[in-house]
Structure 1
Amino acid sequence: MTVAEWLAAAPVEVATVTTDASLEDAVDRMLALAGSRSVFVTDDDGRLVGYLPHRRLAALLLAEFRRSHSPRHLSERIHGGHIHELMHRPHPVGADADLAHALHHLLDLGDEDLPVIDADRRLVGVINLTAVLRAFRAGRL
């Protein structure tokens, strides 16, 4: 099975923002989509340039529970920050890649979502680890 075939069989809503989005916008976008675990950052042409994983966003939002961050520091970070300041470099796979290779890549990265791009680096979908586990348990993989 190819990644493109998987995306057609198990589509996932993808939270995306552009590079000029605030962290607050990114958090709102992620929380608006029930299955979204990461926010993917694209340029104005839809090309993938970065992502912010769920854990990183949670760490920012819940920083007040850590002794090393003051509530003021957190507020400044969320309300004054932009996504490009904290986004991670993506490690996408192509839509024509073999699904087994993509899953190996996803597990090696330790992420919950793996971005899928086309030949022009445009984001075309995401392989979600939870969706993969559900399909595996149901015997569809």
Structure 2
Amino acid sequence: MKKLQQYIVVDDDRTNNLICEYVIKDWDPQARVQLFLEPELALKNIEENHKDFGFPVLLFLDVNMPSMSGWEFLDIFKTFDDDIKKSFVIYILTSSTEDFSREAEEYPFVSGFLSKPLKKKYLENIELEMEAISE
């Protein structure tokens, strides 16, 4: 049985955000999904409201955004208190074909990379990984 989770999607592409919300809600109708077009607003929300989230929070982050890249987002995120960071499971969700393995080494709290669009099988695999970790 799936656990109720909080999901955050940070992507400047409205269409991708709607796809993510649809896939998440189809997979888990009870999920709480927050969509952010601006990474700065997502960071502010996380910092100010993290105590109100159900844990763990699954965050999908785009790399290429105009106002702040996903890497810049992660640079700020890594300055947050450990109690905030350990409550998040972060996946880079990107349409880029670049190999980001070198950049990812700077962010050990990033769990992996997924190709857009979000798919139900990604969520199933993430759930399995999270269950294995919690056992």
Compare relative contact order (CA 8 Å, sep 6+) and give the higher one, 1 or 2.
Answer: 1
Name which one, 1 or 2, has greater alpha-carbon Rg.
1
TM-score when normalising by structure 2? 0.29
TM-score by length of 1: 0.28
